[in-house]
Structure 1
Amino acid sequence: MSEINEFPQTLTIAGTDSGGGAGVMADIKTMQERHTFAAAVIVAVTAQNTLGVQDFMALPEKIIDEQFASIAADLKIRACKTGMLADAEHVRIVVTNLKKGDFGPLIVDPVMIAKGGAALLADDAIQVVRDELVPLATLITPNLPEAERLTDMKINSKADMEQAARKLQEMGAKNVLIKGGHGDEDEVSDLTRLESGKTFWVSAPRVDTIRTHGTGDTLSSCITSELAKGQSMEQAIRIAKKYVEAAIADGIQVGNGHGPLNHWAYRKVVD
Protein backbone atom coordinates (compact mmCIF):
# COMPACT_ATOMS: atom_id res chain seq x y z
CA MET A 1 0.00 0.00 0.00
CA SER A 2 2.93 2.35 0.53
CA GLU A 3 3.40 2.65 -3.24
CA ILE A 4 -0.05 4.20 -3.78
CA ASN A 5 0.21 7.68 -5.31
CA GLU A 6 4.02 7.53 -5.45
CA PHE A 7 4.45 7.63 -9.23
CA PRO A 8 6.03 10.99 -10.26
CA GLN A 9 3.18 13.43 -10.92
CA THR A 10 3.44 16.83 -12.60
CA LEU A 11 1.07 19.75 -13.08
CA THR A 12 0.72 22.28 -15.88
CA ILE A 13 -1.17 25.51 -15.19
CA ALA A 14 -1.76 27.19 -18.52
CA GLY A 15 -3.93 27.66 -21.59
CA THR A 16 -4.90 25.12 -24.22
CA ASP A 17 -3.80 25.10 -27.85
CA SER A 18 -6.51 23.71 -30.13
CA GLY A 19 -3.83 23.09 -32.77
CA GLY A 20 -2.04 20.74 -30.38
CA GLY A 21 1.46 22.16 -30.65
CA ALA A 22 1.85 24.39 -27.61
CA GLY A 23 0.27 25.20 -24.25
CA VAL A 24 -1.24 22.46 -22.13
CA MET A 25 -1.19 20.05 -25.10
CA ALA A 26 2.59 20.33 -25.51
CA ASP A 27 3.07 20.19 -21.74
CA ILE A 28 1.13 16.94 -21.36
CA LYS A 29 2.85 15.32 -24.36
CA THR A 30 6.27 16.22 -22.96
CA MET A 31 5.47 15.13 -19.41
CA GLN A 32 4.17 11.80 -20.72
CA GLU A 33 7.27 11.25 -22.88
CA ARG A 34 9.47 11.99 -19.86
CA HIS A 35 7.65 9.29 -17.88
CA THR A 36 5.66 11.39 -15.44
CA PHE A 37 1.90 11.56 -14.97
CA ALA A 38 0.57 14.93 -16.11
CA ALA A 39 -2.34 16.80 -14.54
CA ALA A 40 -3.61 20.19 -15.67
CA VAL A 41 -5.30 23.34 -14.46
CA ILE A 42 -6.79 25.09 -17.49
CA VAL A 43 -6.62 28.87 -17.13
CA ALA A 44 -7.63 29.83 -20.67
CA VAL A 45 -8.83 28.24 -23.90
CA THR A 46 -7.44 29.32 -27.27
CA ALA A 47 -8.62 28.93 -30.83
CA GLN A 48 -5.21 28.37 -32.34
CA ASN A 49 -3.32 26.55 -35.09
CA THR A 50 0.12 26.70 -36.69
CA LEU A 51 -0.87 29.93 -38.46
CA GLY A 52 -1.59 31.85 -35.26
CA VAL A 53 -4.04 32.51 -32.44
CA GLN A 54 -7.50 33.35 -33.71
CA ASP A 55 -9.16 33.91 -30.33
CA PHE A 56 -8.91 33.03 -26.65
CA MET A 57 -11.03 33.15 -23.51
CA ALA A 58 -9.86 33.07 -19.92
CA LEU A 59 -11.92 30.85 -17.61
CA PRO A 60 -13.90 32.04 -14.56
CA GLU A 61 -12.15 32.12 -11.19
CA LYS A 62 -14.49 29.51 -9.67
CA ILE A 63 -13.59 26.72 -12.09
CA ILE A 64 -9.86 27.50 -11.82
CA ASP A 65 -10.08 27.35 -8.02
CA GLU A 66 -11.99 24.07 -8.21
CA GLN A 67 -9.42 22.51 -10.53
CA PHE A 68 -6.65 23.35 -8.06
CA ALA A 69 -8.73 21.99 -5.15
CA SER A 70 -9.53 18.74 -6.97
CA ILE A 71 -5.87 18.09 -7.76
CA ALA A 72 -4.70 18.96 -4.25
CA ALA A 73 -7.30 16.64 -2.70
CA ASP A 74 -6.19 13.54 -4.58
CA LEU A 75 -2.87 13.76 -6.41
CA LYS A 76 0.69 14.08 -5.12
CA ILE A 77 2.22 16.67 -7.42
CA ARG A 78 6.01 16.70 -7.25
CA ALA A 79 6.65 19.65 -9.59
CA CYS A 80 4.51 22.14 -11.49
CA LYS A 81 4.78 24.81 -14.17
CA THR A 82 2.86 27.82 -15.38
CA GLY A 83 2.39 28.90 -18.98
CA MET A 84 -0.18 31.24 -20.52
CA LEU A 85 -2.00 33.09 -17.74
CA ALA A 86 -3.85 35.67 -19.85
CA ASP A 87 -4.15 38.78 -17.66
CA ALA A 88 -3.48 40.34 -14.27
CA GLU A 89 -6.64 38.92 -12.70
CA HIS A 90 -5.76 35.38 -13.71
CA VAL A 91 -2.13 35.67 -12.64
CA ARG A 92 -3.43 36.63 -9.18
CA ILE A 93 -5.89 33.72 -9.17
CA VAL A 94 -3.05 31.31 -9.91
CA VAL A 95 -0.74 32.89 -7.30
CA THR A 96 -3.45 32.59 -4.63
CA ASN A 97 -3.96 28.91 -5.38
CA LEU A 98 -0.25 28.12 -5.50
CA LYS A 99 0.09 29.58 -2.01
CA LYS A 100 -2.70 27.34 -0.69
CA GLY A 101 -1.07 23.99 -1.45
CA ASP A 102 2.19 22.16 -1.98
CA PHE A 103 2.71 21.42 -5.67
CA GLY A 104 6.47 21.01 -5.47
CA PRO A 105 9.03 23.19 -7.27
CA LEU A 106 7.42 25.84 -9.49
CA ILE A 107 8.70 26.48 -13.01
CA VAL A 108 7.44 29.81 -14.36
CA ASP A 109 7.38 30.04 -18.15
CA PRO A 110 6.30 33.69 -18.55
CA VAL A 111 4.42 33.24 -21.82
CA MET A 112 3.72 36.64 -23.37
CA ILE A 113 3.59 36.31 -27.16
CA ALA A 114 2.68 33.39 -29.43
CA LYS A 115 4.93 32.32 -32.33
CA GLY A 116 2.61 34.10 -34.76
CA GLY A 117 2.83 37.35 -32.80
CA ALA A 118 -0.45 37.26 -30.85
CA ALA A 119 -0.30 38.64 -27.30
CA LEU A 120 -0.99 35.95 -24.71
CA LEU A 121 -0.42 38.12 -21.63
CA ALA A 122 -2.05 41.51 -21.16
CA ASP A 123 0.32 44.44 -20.58
CA ASP A 124 -1.15 45.14 -17.14
CA ALA A 125 -0.25 41.61 -16.06
CA ILE A 126 3.50 41.98 -16.49
CA GLN A 127 3.91 43.93 -13.26
CA VAL A 128 1.81 41.34 -11.41
CA VAL A 129 4.05 38.59 -12.77
CA ARG A 130 7.10 40.52 -11.54
CA ASP A 131 5.70 41.30 -8.10
CA GLU A 132 3.64 38.23 -7.24
CA LEU A 133 4.54 35.24 -9.44
CA VAL A 134 8.31 35.55 -9.93
CA PRO A 135 8.98 35.47 -6.15
CA LEU A 136 7.32 32.04 -6.02
CA ALA A 137 9.44 30.63 -8.85
CA THR A 138 11.93 27.86 -8.23
CA LEU A 139 12.97 28.52 -11.85
CA ILE A 140 11.89 31.12 -14.39
CA THR A 141 12.45 30.41 -18.11
CA PRO A 142 11.96 33.56 -20.22
CA ASN A 143 13.06 33.91 -23.81
CA LEU A 144 14.97 37.06 -24.75
CA PRO A 145 11.93 39.31 -25.43
CA GLU A 146 10.25 38.12 -22.22
CA ALA A 147 13.42 38.72 -20.21
CA GLU A 148 13.63 42.23 -21.66
CA ARG A 149 10.03 42.99 -20.65
CA LEU A 150 10.49 41.64 -17.15
CA THR A 151 13.79 43.44 -16.49
CA ASP A 152 13.15 46.65 -18.48
CA MET A 153 16.49 46.32 -20.26
CA LYS A 154 17.71 45.55 -23.76
CA ILE A 155 19.58 42.27 -24.19
CA ASN A 156 22.12 42.34 -27.00
CA SER A 157 24.93 40.14 -25.70
CA LYS A 158 25.81 37.31 -23.38
CA ALA A 159 26.89 39.88 -20.79
CA ASP A 160 23.41 41.42 -21.00
CA MET A 161 21.87 37.98 -20.47
CA GLU A 162 23.95 37.53 -17.34
CA GLN A 163 22.86 40.93 -16.04
CA ALA A 164 19.21 40.14 -16.75
CA ALA A 165 19.53 36.82 -14.92
CA ARG A 166 20.86 38.61 -11.85
CA LYS A 167 17.95 41.06 -12.01
CA LEU A 168 15.43 38.24 -12.16
CA GLN A 169 17.02 36.64 -9.12
CA GLU A 170 16.77 39.97 -7.32
CA MET A 171 13.02 39.88 -8.06
CA GLY A 172 12.83 36.62 -6.13
CA ALA A 173 13.29 33.77 -8.62
CA LYS A 174 15.62 31.19 -7.10
CA ASN A 175 17.01 29.98 -10.43
CA VAL A 176 16.92 31.64 -13.85
CA LEU A 177 17.14 30.19 -17.37
CA ILE A 178 17.21 32.74 -20.21
CA LYS A 179 16.67 31.13 -23.60
CA GLY A 180 18.71 32.41 -26.53
CA GLY A 181 16.56 31.12 -29.38
CA HIS A 182 15.52 34.60 -30.52
CA GLY A 183 19.12 35.49 -31.34
CA ASP A 184 20.67 34.99 -34.77
CA GLU A 185 23.80 33.01 -33.97
CA ASP A 186 24.51 29.61 -35.56
CA GLU A 187 24.24 28.07 -32.10
CA VAL A 188 21.36 28.63 -29.70
CA SER A 189 22.88 29.31 -26.29
CA ASP A 190 20.82 29.40 -23.09
CA LEU A 191 22.10 30.88 -19.84
CA THR A 192 21.31 29.42 -16.44
CA ARG A 193 22.04 31.16 -13.15
CA LEU A 194 21.47 28.84 -10.20
CA GLU A 195 20.43 29.76 -6.68
CA SER A 196 24.00 29.13 -5.58
CA GLY A 197 25.27 31.83 -7.94
CA LYS A 198 26.78 29.30 -10.35
CA THR A 199 26.18 30.10 -14.02
CA PHE A 200 26.49 27.82 -17.02
CA TRP A 201 25.59 27.82 -20.70
CA VAL A 202 23.99 25.05 -22.75
CA SER A 203 24.14 25.26 -26.53
CA ALA A 204 22.75 23.44 -29.54
CA PRO A 205 23.12 23.99 -33.30
CA ARG A 206 20.38 26.19 -34.76
CA VAL A 207 18.12 24.16 -37.06
CA ASP A 208 16.86 25.91 -40.19
CA THR A 209 13.13 25.31 -39.68
CA ILE A 210 9.95 27.16 -38.82
CA ARG A 211 8.62 24.08 -37.03
CA THR A 212 9.36 25.33 -33.54
CA HIS A 213 5.85 25.98 -32.19
CA GLY A 214 5.74 25.10 -28.49
CA THR A 215 9.50 25.11 -27.88
CA GLY A 216 9.30 27.07 -24.63
CA ASP A 217 6.42 25.01 -23.29
CA THR A 218 8.28 21.81 -24.14
CA LEU A 219 11.51 22.93 -22.48
CA SER A 220 9.84 24.01 -19.25
CA SER A 221 7.67 20.86 -19.14
CA CYS A 222 10.71 18.64 -19.55
CA ILE A 223 12.49 20.45 -16.71
CA THR A 224 9.36 20.07 -14.56
CA SER A 225 9.28 16.34 -15.27
CA GLU A 226 12.95 15.80 -14.49
CA LEU A 227 12.63 17.66 -11.18
CA ALA A 228 9.59 15.52 -10.32
CA LYS A 229 11.77 12.44 -10.84
CA GLY A 230 14.42 13.79 -8.48
CA GLN A 231 17.01 15.25 -10.84
CA SER A 232 19.02 18.28 -9.75
CA MET A 233 18.13 21.62 -11.32
CA GLU A 234 21.28 21.64 -13.45
CA GLN A 235 20.78 18.10 -14.71
CA ALA A 236 17.09 18.75 -15.43
CA ILE A 237 18.02 21.75 -17.56
CA ARG A 238 20.72 19.86 -19.47
CA ILE A 239 18.34 16.96 -20.21
CA ALA A 240 15.62 19.39 -21.34
CA LYS A 241 17.99 21.13 -23.75
CA LYS A 242 18.87 17.78 -25.37
CA TYR A 243 15.21 16.81 -25.52
CA VAL A 244 14.19 20.02 -27.30
CA GLU A 245 17.19 19.81 -29.64
CA ALA A 246 16.09 16.33 -30.72
CA ALA A 247 12.43 17.29 -31.02
CA ILE A 248 13.30 20.16 -33.39
CA ALA A 249 15.98 18.37 -35.40
CA ASP A 250 13.78 15.33 -36.16
CA GLY A 251 10.76 17.36 -37.20
CA ILE A 252 7.28 16.36 -38.30
CA GLN A 253 5.18 17.96 -41.03
CA VAL A 254 2.01 19.27 -39.41
CA GLY A 255 0.13 22.40 -40.45
CA ASN A 256 0.96 25.19 -42.88
CA GLY A 257 2.70 27.63 -40.54
CA HIS A 258 4.95 27.41 -37.47
CA GLY A 259 4.56 23.67 -37.00
CA PRO A 260 4.96 21.72 -33.75
CA LEU A 261 7.92 19.79 -32.39
CA ASN A 262 8.28 16.03 -32.63
CA HIS A 263 7.77 15.15 -28.99
CA TRP A 264 8.83 11.49 -29.31
CA ALA A 265 12.11 12.14 -31.17
CA TYR A 266 14.08 12.17 -27.91
CA ARG A 267 14.16 8.37 -27.84
CA LYS A 268 16.94 8.47 -30.43
CA VAL A 269 19.12 10.91 -28.53
CA VAL A 270 18.41 11.34 -24.81
CA ASP A 271 17.55 7.99 -23.27
Structure 2
Amino acid sequence: MTHSTPIALTIAGSDSGGGAGIQADLKTFSALGVFGASVITALTAQNTREVRAIHDVPAAFIADQLNTVLDDLVVDAIKIGMLSRPETIETIAGILRERAITNIVLDPVMVAKSGDKLLLDEAVSALRNELVPLARLITPNLPEAAVLLGTDEAESRDDMRAQAQALRQLGPQGVLIKGGHLSESSSDDSADLLLLDHSEHWLPAKRIATRNTHGTGCTLSSAIAAGLARGLDIVRAVEAAKAYITDAIQAADRLQVGSGHGPTHHFHRWW
Protein backbone atom coordinates (compact mmCIF):
# COMPACT_ATOMS: atom_id res chain seq x y z
CA MET A 1 0.00 0.00 0.00
CA THR A 2 1.37 3.40 -1.00
CA HIS A 3 1.60 5.89 1.83
CA SER A 4 0.40 9.24 0.50
CA THR A 5 -1.56 10.75 3.37
CA PRO A 6 0.64 12.84 5.69
CA ILE A 7 0.11 11.69 9.27
CA ALA A 8 1.13 13.45 12.48
CA LEU A 9 0.84 12.04 15.98
CA THR A 10 0.38 14.16 19.08
CA ILE A 11 1.46 12.83 22.48
CA ALA A 12 0.02 15.22 25.02
CA GLY A 13 -2.60 15.98 27.65
CA SER A 14 -6.27 16.57 26.96
CA ASP A 15 -7.82 20.02 27.50
CA SER A 16 -11.49 19.67 28.38
CA GLY A 17 -11.99 23.32 27.42
CA GLY A 18 -10.87 22.54 23.88
CA GLY A 19 -8.32 25.33 23.45
CA ALA A 20 -4.98 23.64 24.10
CA GLY A 21 -3.38 20.20 24.36
CA ILE A 22 -4.62 17.27 22.28
CA GLN A 23 -7.66 19.23 21.11
CA ALA A 24 -5.59 22.14 19.78
CA ASP A 25 -3.11 19.76 18.16
CA LEU A 26 -5.74 17.79 16.27
CA LYS A 27 -7.48 20.98 15.13
CA THR A 28 -4.16 22.31 13.87
CA PHE A 29 -3.30 19.11 12.01
CA SER A 30 -6.71 19.16 10.33
CA ALA A 31 -6.47 22.85 9.44
CA LEU A 32 -3.10 22.24 7.77
CA GLY A 33 -4.11 19.21 5.73
CA VAL A 34 -2.58 16.48 7.90
CA PHE A 35 -4.32 13.43 9.39
CA GLY A 36 -3.96 13.50 13.17
CA ALA A 37 -3.59 10.62 15.61
CA SER A 38 -3.22 10.95 19.38
CA VAL A 39 -1.75 9.43 22.52
CA ILE A 40 -3.32 10.97 25.64
CA THR A 41 -0.94 11.32 28.60
CA ALA A 42 -3.25 13.10 31.04
CA LEU A 43 -6.83 14.30 31.42
CA THR A 44 -7.36 17.82 32.69
CA ALA A 45 -10.46 19.44 34.13
CA GLN A 46 -9.76 22.76 32.45
CA ASN A 47 -11.46 25.81 31.02
CA THR A 48 -10.32 29.25 29.87
CA ARG A 49 -9.77 30.38 33.48
CA GLU A 50 -8.17 27.48 35.34
CA VAL A 51 -6.91 23.93 35.51
CA ARG A 52 -9.09 22.45 38.23
CA ALA A 53 -7.72 18.91 38.27
CA ILE A 54 -5.25 16.63 36.45
CA HIS A 55 -5.67 12.87 36.10
CA ASP A 56 -2.51 11.19 34.82
CA VAL A 57 -2.89 8.24 32.48
CA PRO A 58 -0.87 5.23 33.71
CA ALA A 59 2.45 4.81 31.90
CA ALA A 60 1.60 1.26 30.81
CA PHE A 61 -1.56 2.46 29.05
CA ILE A 62 0.35 5.32 27.42
CA ALA A 63 2.74 2.68 26.07
CA ASP A 64 -0.24 0.66 24.80
CA GLN A 65 -1.63 3.69 22.97
CA LEU A 66 1.71 4.61 21.42
CA ASN A 67 2.67 1.10 20.31
CA THR A 68 -0.80 0.43 18.90
CA VAL A 69 -0.71 3.58 16.77
CA LEU A 70 2.84 2.96 15.54
CA ASP A 71 2.12 -0.69 14.74
CA ASP A 72 -0.44 0.38 12.13
CA LEU A 73 -0.05 4.00 11.06
CA VAL A 74 2.92 5.32 9.09
CA VAL A 75 3.56 8.38 11.23
CA ASP A 76 5.52 11.14 9.46
CA ALA A 77 6.05 13.42 12.47
CA ILE A 78 5.37 13.42 16.21
CA LYS A 79 4.53 16.38 18.41
CA ILE A 80 5.06 15.90 22.15
CA GLY A 81 3.38 18.19 24.65
CA MET A 82 2.29 17.80 28.27
CA LEU A 83 4.12 15.03 30.13
CA SER A 84 3.75 15.59 33.85
CA ARG A 85 5.59 12.63 35.43
CA PRO A 86 9.06 11.04 35.09
CA GLU A 87 7.67 7.56 34.41
CA THR A 88 5.58 8.91 31.54
CA ILE A 89 8.61 10.59 30.00
CA GLU A 90 10.81 7.53 30.41
CA THR A 91 8.18 5.24 28.90
CA ILE A 92 7.68 7.39 25.81
CA ALA A 93 11.41 7.97 25.32
CA GLY A 94 12.09 4.24 25.52
CA ILE A 95 9.58 3.43 22.78
CA LEU A 96 10.77 6.24 20.50
CA ARG A 97 14.40 5.11 20.90
CA GLU A 98 13.49 1.49 20.24
CA ARG A 99 11.66 2.43 17.04
CA ALA A 100 14.37 4.92 15.98
CA ILE A 101 11.86 7.74 15.47
CA THR A 102 13.56 11.10 14.97
CA ASN A 103 11.04 13.48 13.36
CA ILE A 104 9.94 14.79 16.75
CA VAL A 105 8.84 18.28 17.83
CA LEU A 106 9.03 18.61 21.61
CA ASP A 107 7.08 21.40 23.30
CA PRO A 108 8.19 21.30 26.97
CA VAL A 109 4.84 22.34 28.45
CA MET A 110 5.27 23.35 32.10
CA VAL A 111 2.61 25.94 32.96
CA ALA A 112 -0.89 26.57 31.57
CA LYS A 113 -1.95 30.02 30.35
CA SER A 114 -3.92 30.33 33.59
CA GLY A 115 -0.67 29.98 35.57
CA ASP A 116 -1.43 26.45 36.78
CA LYS A 117 1.60 24.14 36.93
CA LEU A 118 1.48 21.14 34.56
CA LEU A 119 4.89 19.51 35.13
CA LEU A 120 6.19 18.04 38.38
CA ASP A 121 9.59 19.34 39.50
CA GLU A 122 11.04 15.83 39.47
CA ALA A 123 10.00 15.40 35.83
CA VAL A 124 12.22 18.24 34.57
CA SER A 125 15.45 16.22 34.69
CA ALA A 126 13.74 13.27 32.96
CA LEU A 127 12.53 15.60 30.21
CA ARG A 128 15.99 17.13 29.84
CA ASN A 129 17.86 13.82 29.81
CA GLU A 130 15.44 11.43 28.12
CA LEU A 131 13.39 13.33 25.53
CA VAL A 132 15.25 16.53 24.62
CA PRO A 133 18.14 14.56 23.00
CA LEU A 134 15.67 12.64 20.80
CA ALA A 135 13.99 15.74 19.35
CA ARG A 136 14.49 17.18 15.91
CA LEU A 137 13.23 20.47 17.35
CA ILE A 138 12.34 21.73 20.83
CA THR A 139 10.11 24.80 21.23
CA PRO A 140 10.45 26.28 24.74
CA ASN A 141 9.32 29.75 25.69
CA LEU A 142 11.70 31.82 27.82
CA PRO A 143 10.54 30.52 31.24
CA GLU A 144 10.68 26.92 29.99
CA ALA A 145 14.16 27.39 28.55
CA ALA A 146 15.35 28.77 31.88
CA VAL A 147 13.90 25.80 33.79
CA LEU A 148 15.49 23.28 31.43
CA LEU A 149 18.87 24.96 31.88
CA GLY A 150 18.51 25.73 35.59
CA THR A 151 19.27 29.40 35.01
CA ASP A 152 17.62 32.82 35.01
CA GLU A 153 15.15 33.79 32.32
CA ALA A 154 16.61 35.50 29.25
CA GLU A 155 16.32 39.28 29.26
CA SER A 156 17.84 40.11 25.87
CA ARG A 157 18.39 38.66 22.42
CA ASP A 158 21.97 37.87 23.41
CA ASP A 159 20.61 35.87 26.37
CA MET A 160 18.21 34.06 24.05
CA ARG A 161 21.06 33.14 21.71
CA ALA A 162 23.23 31.88 24.58
CA GLN A 163 20.38 29.79 25.99
CA ALA A 164 19.53 28.37 22.58
CA GLN A 165 23.15 27.32 22.18
CA ALA A 166 23.15 25.74 25.63
CA LEU A 167 19.95 23.85 24.84
CA ARG A 168 21.45 22.52 21.61
CA GLN A 169 24.26 21.06 23.71
CA LEU A 170 21.61 18.84 25.33
CA GLY A 171 21.20 16.99 22.03
CA PRO A 172 18.27 18.25 19.91
CA GLN A 173 18.92 19.01 16.25
CA GLY A 174 17.31 22.43 16.56
CA VAL A 175 15.96 24.87 19.13
CA LEU A 176 13.15 27.38 18.66
CA ILE A 177 13.05 29.79 21.61
CA LYS A 178 9.84 31.80 21.69
CA GLY A 179 10.53 35.37 22.71
CA GLY A 180 7.07 36.54 23.69
CA HIS A 181 8.11 37.00 27.33
CA LEU A 182 11.21 39.05 26.53
CA SER A 183 11.24 42.09 28.79
CA GLU A 184 13.26 44.23 26.39
CA SER A 185 10.83 43.63 23.52
CA SER A 186 8.91 46.64 22.33
CA SER A 187 5.18 46.52 22.86
CA ASP A 188 4.53 45.54 19.24
CA ASP A 189 7.36 43.07 18.60
CA SER A 190 7.72 39.42 19.60
CA ALA A 191 10.70 37.73 17.92
CA ASP A 192 11.52 34.03 18.12
CA LEU A 193 14.95 32.50 17.55
CA LEU A 194 15.49 29.31 15.54
CA LEU A 195 18.97 27.89 16.07
CA LEU A 196 20.15 24.98 13.95
CA ASP A 197 23.53 23.31 13.49
CA HIS A 198 24.98 25.90 11.12
CA SER A 199 22.39 28.64 10.97
CA GLU A 200 20.51 31.17 13.09
CA HIS A 201 17.13 32.59 12.13
CA TRP A 202 15.33 35.45 13.88
CA LEU A 203 11.60 35.30 13.21
CA PRO A 204 9.95 38.64 13.97
CA ALA A 205 6.23 38.95 14.62
CA LYS A 206 3.99 41.80 15.64
CA ARG A 207 2.42 41.54 19.08
CA ILE A 208 -1.33 41.21 18.77
CA ALA A 209 -3.57 42.89 21.31
CA THR A 210 -5.82 40.06 22.53
CA ARG A 211 -6.23 38.01 25.68
CA ASN A 212 -7.34 35.02 23.61
CA THR A 213 -4.00 33.24 23.46
CA HIS A 214 -4.83 29.96 25.20
CA GLY A 215 -3.08 27.10 23.42
CA THR A 216 -0.72 29.18 21.28
CA GLY A 217 2.34 27.12 22.23
CA CYS A 218 0.54 23.83 21.54
CA THR A 219 -0.74 25.16 18.24
CA LEU A 220 2.65 26.44 17.07
CA SER A 221 4.48 23.19 17.83
CA SER A 222 1.76 21.06 16.22
CA ALA A 223 1.78 23.34 13.16
CA ILE A 224 5.52 22.75 12.86
CA ALA A 225 4.97 18.99 13.15
CA ALA A 226 2.31 19.23 10.44
CA GLY A 227 4.80 20.96 8.16
CA LEU A 228 7.43 18.29 8.81
CA ALA A 229 4.84 15.59 8.14
CA ARG A 230 4.19 17.22 4.76
CA GLY A 231 7.88 17.07 3.93
CA LEU A 232 8.99 20.64 4.69
CA ASP A 233 12.46 21.24 6.10
CA ILE A 234 12.70 22.73 9.59
CA VAL A 235 13.10 26.36 8.50
CA ARG A 236 10.15 26.24 6.10
CA ALA A 237 8.03 24.32 8.61
CA VAL A 238 8.72 26.89 11.34
CA GLU A 239 8.06 29.84 9.03
CA ALA A 240 4.77 28.35 7.83
CA ALA A 241 3.74 27.55 11.41
CA LYS A 242 4.56 31.10 12.54
CA ALA A 243 2.37 32.51 9.76
CA TYR A 244 -0.47 30.17 10.71
CA ILE A 245 -0.40 30.94 14.45
CA THR A 246 -0.14 34.68 13.76
CA ASP A 247 -3.30 34.55 11.64
CA ALA A 248 -5.03 32.34 14.24
CA ILE A 249 -4.28 34.85 17.01
CA GLN A 250 -5.36 37.80 14.87
CA ALA A 251 -8.70 36.06 14.29
CA ALA A 252 -9.10 34.90 17.91
CA ASP A 253 -11.43 37.71 18.93
CA ARG A 254 -13.96 36.51 16.35
CA LEU A 255 -14.57 33.61 18.74
CA GLN A 256 -16.57 34.06 21.93
CA VAL A 257 -15.41 31.13 24.08
CA GLY A 258 -15.27 31.33 27.87
CA SER A 259 -14.55 34.28 30.14
CA GLY A 260 -10.79 33.86 30.65
CA HIS A 261 -7.96 33.38 28.18
CA GLY A 262 -9.90 32.18 25.16
CA PRO A 263 -8.51 29.99 22.38
CA THR A 264 -6.89 31.00 19.13
CA HIS A 265 -8.97 30.51 15.99
CA HIS A 266 -7.64 27.29 14.44
CA PHE A 267 -10.15 27.37 11.58
CA HIS A 268 -9.89 31.07 10.75
CA ARG A 269 -9.52 30.29 7.05
CA TRP A 270 -12.90 28.54 6.90
CA TRP A 271 -15.23 29.98 9.56
- Following the alignment from structure 1 to structure 2, what is the Cα–Cα distance between the partners of residues 115 and 220? 16
Is 2:25 the partner of 1:22? Answer: no
Counterpart in 2 of 1:156? 155
Counterpart in 2 of 1:115? 113
Counterpart in 1 of 2:74? 76
Counterpart of 1:89 in 2: which secondary structure? helix
- Comparing 150-159 with 30-39, greater Cα deviation is found at 150-159
- Following the alignment from structure 2 to structure 1, what is the Cα–Cα distance between the partners of residues 10 and 106? 10
Read off the aligned partner of 2:246 and give its amino acid letter.
Answer: E
Where in structure 2 are the equivalents of 1:231-250 lying within 5 Å?
A: 231-250=232-251
- Following the alignment from structure 1 to structure 2, what is the Cα–Cα distance between the partners of residues 70 and 64? 10
Counterpart in 1 of 2:170? 171
Counterpart in 1 of 2:229? 228
The TM-score normalised by the length of structure 1 is 0.95
Counterpart of 1:35 in 2: which secondary structure? coil
Counterpart in 2 of 1:192? 194
- Following the alignment from structure 1 to structure 2, what is the Cα–Cα distance between the partners of residues 163 and 87? 28
Select the residue among 94, 97, 104 that pairs with 2:95: 97
- Following the alignment from structure 1 to structure 2, what is the Cα–Cα distance between the partners of residues 91 and 108? 12
Quote how far apart the aligned CAs of 1:89 are: 1.5
The total of aligned residue pairs comes to 265
Read off the aligned partner of 1:164 and give its amino acid letter.
Answer: Q
- Following the alignment from structure 1 to structure 2, what is the Cα–Cα distance between the partners of residues 103 and 15? 21
- Following the alignment from structure 1 to structure 2, what is the Cα–Cα distance between the partners of residues 48 and 96? 29
Contact 2:102/2:135 (8 A) holds in 1? no
- Following the alignment from structure 1 to structure 2, what is the Cα–Cα distance between the partners of residues 191 and 123? 26
Quote how far apart the aligned CAs of 1:104 are: 4.9
Quote how far apart the aligned CAs of 1:209 are: 1.0
The TM-score normalised by the length of structure 2 is 0.95
Counterpart of 2:194 in 1: which secondary structure? strand
Contact 2:102/2:134 (8 A) holds in 1? no
Counterpart of 1:173 in 2: which secondary structure? coil
Quote how far apart the aligned CAs of 1:97 are: 1.8
Quote how far apart the aligned CAs of 1:264 are: 1.4
Quote how far apart the aligned CAs of 1:253 are: 1.8
Describe the shift of the 1:160–1:267 C-alpha distance in structure 2 as closer, same or farther (beyond 3 A): farther
Counterpart in 2 of 1:133? 131
Contact 2:85/2:120 (8 A) holds in 1? yes
- Following the alignment from structure 1 to structure 2, what is the Cα–Cα distance between the partners of residues 212 and 182? 13
Counterpart in 2 of 1:213? 214
* Unaligned ranges ≥5, structure 1: none
Counterpart of 1:68 in 2: which secondary structure? helix
Read off the aligned partner of 2:215 and give its amino acid letter.
Answer: G
Counterpart in 2 of 1:52? 50
- Comparing 127-136 with 179-188, greater Cα deviation is found at 179-188
- Following the alignment from structure 1 to structure 2, what is the Cα–Cα distance between the partners of residues 147 and 133? 14
Alignment RMSD, CA only? 1.4
- Comparing 12-21 with 181-190, greater Cα deviation is found at 181-190
Identity rate, percent: 44
Describe the shift of the 1:181–1:219 C-alpha distance in structure 2 as closer, same or farther (beyond 3 A): same
Counterpart of 1:16 in 2: which secondary structure? strand
Counterpart of 2:225 in 1: which secondary structure? helix
Counterpart of 2:193 in 1: which secondary structure? strand
- Comparing 19-28 with 197-206, greater Cα deviation is found at 197-206
Quote how far apart the aligned CAs of 1:6 are: 2.7
1:18-65: CA deviations, max 9, x gaps?
A: 000000000000001110100001111100000010001111122111
Select the residue among 80, 86, 92 that pairs with 1:88: 86
- Following the alignment from structure 1 to structure 2, what is the Cα–Cα distance between the partners of residues 107 and 223? 7
Counterpart in 1 of 2:264? 261
Counterpart in 2 of 1:203? 204
